[in-house]
Amino acid sequence: MIFIFLLIVSHTNQRSYRSTRNNVPYSVAQLLTTAKPINLSIHIVLSLLCKSYIMTPEELASLRKDYTMNALNEADMAATPILQFEKWWRDAEMSQITEMNAMTLATTAHDGMVDARTVLIKAFDEKGFVFFTNYNSSKSSQLEFNSNCCLLFFWKELERQVRINGIAEKISTKESIEYFDSRPDGSKIGAWASPQSMVVAGKTWLKETFEYYAERFKHGHIPKPPHWGGYRVKPIRVEFWQGRPSRMHDRILYTETEAGIWMHERLAP
pLDDT grade for 253, boundaries at 50, 70 and 90:
very high
Q: Active-site residue among 18, 117, 247, 266?
A: 247
Please compute the mean of the pLDDT values over residues 104-115 and round it to a whole number. 96
Residue 251 annotated among the catalytic residues of the structure:
no
**Tens digit of each residue's pLDDT (9 = 90 or more) over 197-227:** 999 999 999 999 999 999 999 999 999 999 9
What pLDDT does 58 receive? Answer: 92
CA distance 14 to 218: 62
State the amino acid at position 212 in one-letter form. Answer: Y
pLDDT of residue 46: 58
The average pLDDT across 254-266 equals: 93
- The CATH superfamily label for domain 74-181+224-267 reads Electron Transport, Fmn-binding Protein; Chain A (2.30.110.10)
Domain boundaries, the chain: 2-62, 74-181+224-267
Q: What pLDDT was estimated at residue 133?
A: 98
The chain-wide mean pLDDT, for the chain, equals 87
Give the mean model confidence (pLDDT) for residues 168-173: 98
Classify residue 104 as exposed, middle or buried by CB count within 10 Å of its CB (0-12, 13-18, 19+): middle
Nearest C-alpha neighbor of 123 from the set 87, 176, 181: 176
pTM above 0.85, yes or no: no
d(CA 207, CA 236): 41
How far apart are the C-alpha atoms of 235 and 255, rounded to whole Å?
9
Q: What is the pLDDT of residues 28-76, one digit of tens each?
A: 445 444 444 456 566 556 555 555 678 899 998 999 899 998 999 999 9
Helix axes 203-216, 185-193, angle to 10 degrees: 120
